[in-house]
A and B are shown apart, each in its own frame.
Chain A
Amino acid sequence: EAGVVQSPRYKIIEKKQPVAFWCNPISGHNTLYWYRQNLGQGPELLIRYENEEAVDDSQLPKDRFSAERLKGVDSTLKIQPAELGDSAVYLCASSLVIGGTETQYFGPGTRLLVL
């Protein structure tokens, strides 16, 4: 079974440029997460989707970040304009609840470097 797919794997851009990341979750997983992981830190949640609905976007910096999950399957995360401090690894995860237990499966992430 294919895992969570993310692209691109690496992205280098200049500040003030826009950037977009794509995620395809595991088939059948209704819940999708975007995390940001800074160097030496654990992942921090940006947004969580249940199907196509963003149920928690309280940690998403909405002045420059946006996300969508049309049709409740794959998702994109966009930053416009990017700032130097946005350099990080952006992780996508998906999950399925079975018997009341939820396990998140992570994709390989996109490493963003803003110059």
Chain B
Amino acid sequence: EDKVVQSPLSLVVHEGDTVTLNCSYEVTNFRSLLWYKQEKKAPTFLFMLTSSGIEKKSGRLSSILDKKELFSILNITATQTGDSAIYLCAGRGGSQGNLIFGKGTKLSVKP
């Protein structure tokens, strides 16, 4: 059965800290891995990764994929209170090419 596992499930840090969120996956017919940020309700797209070893960056956020070890990390440097959210990882694959989501990591950034 396809699955995506995220760790930790929750994390509390202080402003200015750097955090690393982990995502491992077992997805048949794997195509890509996506990261979303979920504040309140709607997940918003952060990154899509298809190739190993190529880092994607957007401001203080960056992500990389390792297709050999089947995992991805999301880094956030110099965290701010506005980074507080649930970060969802999803693998695209399976027989229909749908997204399989992990449970998410709940990040709380304290001032």
Determine the chain B residues whose CB is within 8 A of the CB of A43 once the complex forms.
43, 88, 99, 101
- Total count of chain A residues near the partner, CB < 8 A: 24
Q: How far is the CA of A42 from the CA of B48 in the complex (A)?
A: 17
Is A106's CB under 8 angstroms from B99's CB?
Answer: no
**Other-chain residue from A40, A48, A58, A91 in contact with B42 (beta carbon distance below 8 A):** A91
User: In the bound complex, what is the Cα–Cα distance between A44 and B88 (angstroms)?
Assistant: 12
Number of interface residues of B (CB under 8 A): 19
CB pair A107–B42 under 8 Å, yes or no, is yes
Q: Are A56 and B45 in contact (CB under 8 A)?
A: no
Given known contacts A42-B104, A48-B96, A48-B98, A106 and B42 CB-to-CB distance under 8 angstroms? yes
Choose one: B40, B44, B88; the contact of A42 (CB below 8 Å).
B88
Instruction: Give A78 to B36 CA distance when docked, in angstroms.
Output: 27
- Interchain pairs with CB closer than 8 A, number: 48
A44 (CB) vs chain B CBs: closest residue: B101
Known contacts A41-B103, A42-B101, A42-B104; A104 and B42 CB within 8 A of each other:
no
Q: Is A109 an interface residue (CB 8 A)?
A: yes
B98 touches A45 (CB 8 A): yes
Q: Is B41 an interface residue (CB 8 A)?
A: yes
Q: A40 contacts B45, CB within 8 Å?
A: no
> Residues of A contacting B101 with CB < 8 Å?
42-44
Cα(A103)–Cα(B104), bound, Å:
19
In Å, the complex CA distance between A4 and B88 comes to 19
Question: Which residues of A are found within 8 Å of B90, using beta-carbon distances?
Answer: 42
- Among A89, A91, A104, the residue within 8 A (CB) of B45 is A104
Q: Which residues of A contact B98 (CB under 8 A)?
A: 45, 48, 56
The smallest beta-carbon distance between A23 and chain B, in angstroms, is 12
Please, which residue of chain A has its CB at the minimum distance from the CB of B90? A42
Q: Which residues of B contact A (CB under 8 A)?
A: 4, 36, 40-45, 48, 88, 90, 92, 96, 98-99, 101-104
A contacts, CB < 8 Å to B: 3-4, 40-45, 48, 55-56, 58, 89, 91, 101-109, 111
Shortest beta-carbon contacts, A-B, top 4 = A42-B101, A109-B41, A106-B42, A56-B96
